[in-house]
Structure 1
Amino acid sequence: MEPSLFKSIHFLRDSLQKFAMRLSIIPILDALARRTFTSAGLRPESITINSETTIHCWLPPSLPLSSPQNPNNQISKPSLLLIHGFGPVTTWQWRAQVRALSRHFDLIVPDLIFFGRSTTTSPERSELFQASMMVALLKSLGVSGESIAGIVGTSYGGFVAYHAARMMGEEWTGKLVIASSDLEKKDEDDRALMERVGGIGSVVEIMLPRTTDDLRKLLKISVRRPPRFPPPEFLLRDVLRNLYQDNMERKIELLKGVTLGNKDLFQLTPLRQEVLILWGEHDGIFPVIKAFQLKKKLGEKVKLKIFKNTGHVPQLEAPDEFNKVLLSFLLGSPNSTL
C-alpha cells in the first residue's frame, strides 16, 4: 500500500473516532422519550411544594385542579402516581408504560428530588422525605385520597412508594405496586450485591457509576438480555455524561440516607391496601428470592408476578406483559393474568 494512502486511511479513521466521541445521541433519545410522554397527553410542569422544594413532573390536562387547562376543577380519570428508581430521569424509566396507562388513568409522573429538575434546599435525604414530598405533591395538585387509584414504584421508587402508601393513611383505598424493590434490604444484602458484581467497593459505585467499566457492570446485573453487540466506549461515556453526572454528590447522600435495614428507623409492616409485587426472574440487584420473602411480610392482600427472562427492569425488558399485568391489577380485571 502506498504510504500516502496508508496515512489517509489512518487519518480518516482517527477523524471518525474523534467525531464519534463528540457526537452525543443521548439528547436524541431523551427527546424521543419525552415525545412518548407528550403523545400520551402529558405535559411537563414544575410544582412548588414549599419554600424549600420544587418537584418537576409530567401531568395530564386535568391537573393541577386549579390550572387554566381545567377551569371546571374536575378530574377526568382516577389518578395514578408513578415513581421511578435510581438512574436516568422518569421519562427514561416509564416511557414504555405511559401510553397504555394514560388510557385509563390521569398519570402523575414526577422526577424524585435531585433527579432532573426536582430540587430542595432541605438537608433531609431519606426515602421517607422523598415520600413525604410525593404526598405533598398530590395535595398541591388538589388530588384527594379518594381519587388516587394507585401508587407504582420501581426499585428505589418502591421504597418511596411504600412509605407514601403508609402516609396516605387508613382512609386511602387505592392499590400499591412494588416493582423490583427489596423493602427488606439489609447490610448483608449490600455485601452480597458487591460480591456478585466484583471489583466494586460500595453500593454507591454500583448505582452511581463514574467510569465506563462501572457502567458496564451495572448494565450486566440490571438487564437480562444485553445488546447483541457491546456498546462502544464513546457511547458509554455519553451515557455517563448526560444521565449520571448531574447532582452526583446529592444522589450519593440519598443512597446513604436510605433508612431500610436500620431497625431504629424502619420497620416493615403489612398494609391495608391491595399490593402487587412485580419482579424480574433474573434480577441481579435484588435477587428474586427477595420477592417471595417480601410477599410473606406484606400480608394477605399481596399478589406476586415474576417475569421470565428479565432482570431488574421488567417494565423495559417485557413492557407488553408488564403493562398487561399492571392494568389487570389496577383495573380489577376478572381475567387476571396473576
Structure 2
Amino acid sequence: MAKCFSFAATCDRWFRFSFSRAGLKPTTTDLGDGTVMHCWVPKAYEPNKPNLLLLHGLGANAMWQWNEFISPFVARFNVYVPDLLFFGNSYTARPERTELFQAQCVAGVLEAQGVWKTNVVGISYGGFVAYSLAAQFPEMVEKLVLCCAGVCMEEKDMEDGEDRGRGLEFSVTADAREDEGDVQGCLSQASEENAHLHCAGLYQFDYQVMWKEHLQERTGLVYALYKDRKMSDLPTITQPALIIWGEYDKVFPLELGHRLKRHLDEDGRLVVIKDCGHAINKEKPKEMYKHIEAFLIDPLLTPKKENQTSGEKVD
C-alpha cells in the first residue's frame, strides 16, 4: 500500500512540475452551494493566442490524462485544464451528477477566468461534458473535438450486442471490484495495445484512486450518462466538430462514432485511428495531437469546407 501511494505521489509531483514548467498554474474557483472547481490556467494570458479547454475522462485527474499534450498545446493556445467534479481537487455538495451540471460548472470556471470564447477538446467522459457545454453555451464554444465520446449512446445500447456498452458497464459496476485484478480487466477494455497500461504500479494506483476515491459519486456520474438516454433527446450543435475514434474501441464502439457523424451531418468530421482502442491519448498520442492541432489551427479543415463523402478518414 505504501509503495502504491509513493508511486502515485511521485507521479503527481512530476505532473505538477510539468504543468508548471509549461506555463500553467493551479487555481480554485468557489461556485457556491458547496461546489469547488480546481483548474490549471495560464500564468500569463496571451491575447494573440486562441483559447483551449481540455476535459479529461474517467481517470485520476486532469494531469494524468493530459500531461503528454500540455507543452505543445501551451505553445499554440491559452490552455485551461479543469478537474471535473469528483476528480482531483474538484467536488460538490449538490446532488446533481449529469454532464449538464458538469458543463455548467466548467462554464462558471471559464467565466471566472474571463474566458468567453474557447476551443474545447473532450476525451471519453470529458467529451460528454464538452458536447453539453457546446449545446448549453453555444456562444462560448468555437470549435469542438470529441475523442471516443459515446454521446450518441442510448440506454438500450447497454443491452444490445455482445460488446456494445461493455466497457461502460465495467465502470458502472466499479463498486463490485474487490482487487486490482478486476481493475486490470476493466482497463484492458480501454486499450487495444495494452503496453501503456500494463504497469503494476499504475494498476495499483488506479485501484486506490480511480476506483476507491469518491466511488459512490463517480458511479453516479456513469449511471447518469446512460439512464433514460435517447438519441431523440440529444441536442443539436452548430459548431465545427472533429470526432476522433479508435478503430477497436471496446468501451464506446466505433459504430457510435459513425452515429455521431450522421447526427452532426456536415458540421462534423470523423477520423478513425487504426490499430487503436479507447485510450487513444495513451496508445496514439502523436496521431491524436496531429489531428487536433490541424483542425483547430487550419481554417481549411473545418467540416463544411471539406470535400468528403463518408466523413471518415483512416490514418
Q: Is 1:214 the equivalent of 2:186?
A: no
Q: Is 1:284 the equivalent of 2:266?
A: no
Asked whether the 8 Å contact 2:165–2:252 carries over to 1, the reply is no
2:192 is matched by which residue type in structure 1? Answer: R
In 1, the alpha carbon distance for the partners of 2:113 and 2:87 equals 20
In 2, the alpha carbon distance for the partners of 1:193 and 1:20 equals 42
In 1, the alpha carbon distance for the partners of 2:163 and 2:295 equals 36
In 2, the alpha carbon distance for the partners of 1:268 and 1:199 equals 22
1:331 corresponding residue in structure 2 = 297
Distance 1:172 1:142, change over 3 A: closer
Equivalent residue for 1:182, pick from 120, 134, 150:
150
* TM-score, with length taken from structure 2: 0.85
In 1, the alpha carbon distance for the partners of 2:245 and 2:215 equals 27
* TM-score, with length taken from structure 1: 0.80
Distance 1:241 1:295, change over 3 A: same
Cα offset, 1:47, TM superposition: 1.4
In 1, the alpha carbon distance for the partners of 2:294 and 2:245 equals 16
1:32 corresponding residue in structure 2 = 14
Pick which of 322-331 and 36-45 moved more.
36-45
* Aligned partner of residue 185 in structure 1, secondary structure: coil
Distance 1:305 1:204, change over 3 A: same
Q: Is 1:97 the equivalent of 2:69?
A: yes
Cα offset, 1:141, TM superposition: 0.9
Asked whether the 8 Å contact 2:133–2:141 carries over to 1, the reply is no
Pick which of 272-281 and 314-323 moved more.
314-323
What percent identity do the matched residue pairs reach?
A: 31
1:155 corresponding residue in structure 2 = 124
Cα offset, 1:182, TM superposition: 0.8
1:168 is matched by which residue type in structure 2? Answer: F
In 1, the alpha carbon distance for the partners of 2:133 and 2:197 equals 40
Cα offset, 1:86, TM superposition: 0.8
Q: Which runs of 5+ in 1 are unaligned?
A: 1-18, 64-73
Q: Is 1:254 the equivalent of 2:236?
A: no
Cα offset, 1:35, TM superposition: 2.6
Cα offset, 1:316, TM superposition: 1.8
Asked whether the 8 Å contact 1:126–1:258 carries over to 2, the reply is yes
2:267 corresponding residue in structure 1 = 301
Cα offset, 1:100, TM superposition: 1.0
Q: Which runs of 5+ in 2 are unaligned?
A: 307-312
Q: Deviations over 1:268-320 (max 9, x none)?
A: 24321100001111111011121111100112111111111111121221111
1:69 corresponding residue in structure 2 = none
1:7 corresponding residue in structure 2 = none
Give the number of the structure whose residues are more often helix, by fraction.
2
Cα offset, 1:259, TM superposition: 5.7
Cα offset, 1:152, TM superposition: 0.9
* Aligned partner of residue 115 in structure 1, secondary structure: coil
Pick which of 207-216 and 275-284 moved more.
207-216
In 2, the alpha carbon distance for the partners of 1:109 and 1:189 equals 31
Q: Which has the larger radius of gyration?
A: 1
2:52 is matched by which residue type in structure 1? Answer: L
Pick which of 40-49 and 109-118 moved more.
40-49
Asked whether the 8 Å contact 2:157–2:164 carries over to 1, the reply is no
Asked whether the 8 Å contact 1:44–1:59 carries over to 2, the reply is yes
Question: What's the RMSD between the two structures over aligned residues?
Answer: 3.1
Pick which of 309-318 and 203-212 moved more.
203-212
Asked whether the 8 Å contact 2:171–2:219 carries over to 1, the reply is no
Cα offset, 1:108, TM superposition: 0.6
